[in-house]
Amino acid sequence: MRDPQTAARLMSREELTSQAAAVLSRLRGKSPRVHCITNSVAQNFTANALLALGAVPSMTLSGEEIGAFVARSDALLVNLGTFDRERREATSIAVDAASQNGLPWVLDPVFIDRAEQRAVYARDLILLEPKAIRLNAGEFAALSGQRHADAAPARETVEAYARARRLVVGLSGATDLISDGERTAAIANGHPLMARVTAMGCAASAIVAGCLAVEQDTLAATASAMLIVGIAGEMAAEKSQGPGSFAAAILDALYVIDAKMIDARGRTGLQR
């Protein structure tokens, strides 16, 4: 058994970029259906991000039909951005439908560091076995019961959490850290303007779900999604004058990004 203190294997740049190119190609070929339970702030941008990349989004929250939508989907996103009764009922039905149909699902525990009920709810959802969670440092701290809410957690902490929960953690930050506890990807792509557009993280989580629909290796799917989004962000920033033009440009970038761009731009970051 691996000592929990030992770092997981760090994935190489070549491994990550070739993986992402393969996942992207499959996603474009299969156009997977991704059902998204997400907040009303993020719905439009999330749907457009999935469409730009080549997936097919659906967004209904109605308890009467969400089971049927999920059953006909290839992956599910659960985003806590709006925390109301309707979405919790929808989540319960949707996660059930995903489990019964063997579909992967992703949890984005938005703002669980702002209200304790959210954190409690997110911890309960994790017992229902999402394949991956995508979140930021503050949300990770709220989830894992750590102190320093905004500082990036140590690599080992993320790896130990992933190993213990048997899921992939996709932690966004200056360097994205993605780990299942055995392997870790450290991605240095991205751009500060991504933090100036609402729903950017929500859209990234939806893209994780899209990649899970076409890639069984959860770590590969999650790391590929975050690499693609980070590179698209850099491409968009080069064509933008601010966050308004950036939001449009990143959708354009998700539409045109290909294996060559991924190989040319993908960067790994060293972690402690």
| Per-residue binding letters, 190-229, with a second copy (x by CB under 8 A) | -----xxxxx------------------------------
Residue 150 binds to a second copy (criterion: CB under 8 A): no
Q: Which is nearer to a second copy, 221 or 250 (CB)?
A: 250
145 vs 242 by CB, closer to a second copy: 242
When the beta carbons of 12 and 40 are compared against a second copy, the nearer one is 40
41 in contact with a second copy (CB under 8 A): yes
Least Cβ distance, residue 12 to a second copy (angstroms) = 30
| Contact call for residue 83 and a second copy (CB under 8 A) | yes
- Rounded CA separation 89/139 (Å): 22
Site string for a second copy, 91-120 (x = CB under 8 A): --------------------x--xxxxx--
Residue in 23, 34, 37, 47 binding a second copy, rule: CB under 8 A: 47
* 135 binding a second copy? (CB under 8 A): no
Asked if 240 touches a second copy (CB under 8 A), the answer is yes
In the complex, minimum distance from the CB of residue 66 to a second copy, in angstroms, rounded to a whole number: 9
Question: Rule CB under 8 A: is residue 43 a binding residue for a second copy?
Answer: yes
Tokens 């950036």 correspond to what residue? 246
**Rounded to an integer, what distance in angstroms lies between the CA atom of residue 24 and that of residue 122?**
29
End-to-end CA gap in the chain: 23
Q: How far apart are CA 250 and CA 42, in angstroms?
A: 15
Cα–Cα distance measured from residue 75 to residue 103, given in angstroms and rounded to the nearest whole number = 5
Q: What is the 3-state secondary structure (H, E, C) of 66-102?
A: HHHHHHCCCEEEEECCCCCHHHHHHHHHHHHHHHHCC
Residue of 20, 37, 59, 158 interacting with a second copy (CB under 8 A): 59
What phi and psi, each to the nearest 5 degrees, are found at residue 159?
-65, -40
Shortest Cβ 156–a second copy spacing (Å): 30
* Among residues 247, 262, 266, 271, the one that binds a second copy under rule CB under 8 A: 247
**By CB under 8 A, residue 249 contacts a second copy:** yes
Which positions lie near a second copy, rule CB under 8 A? 39-45, 47-48, 51-52, 57-62, 64-65, 68-69, 72, 81-86, 111, 114-118, 195-199, 239-245, 247-256
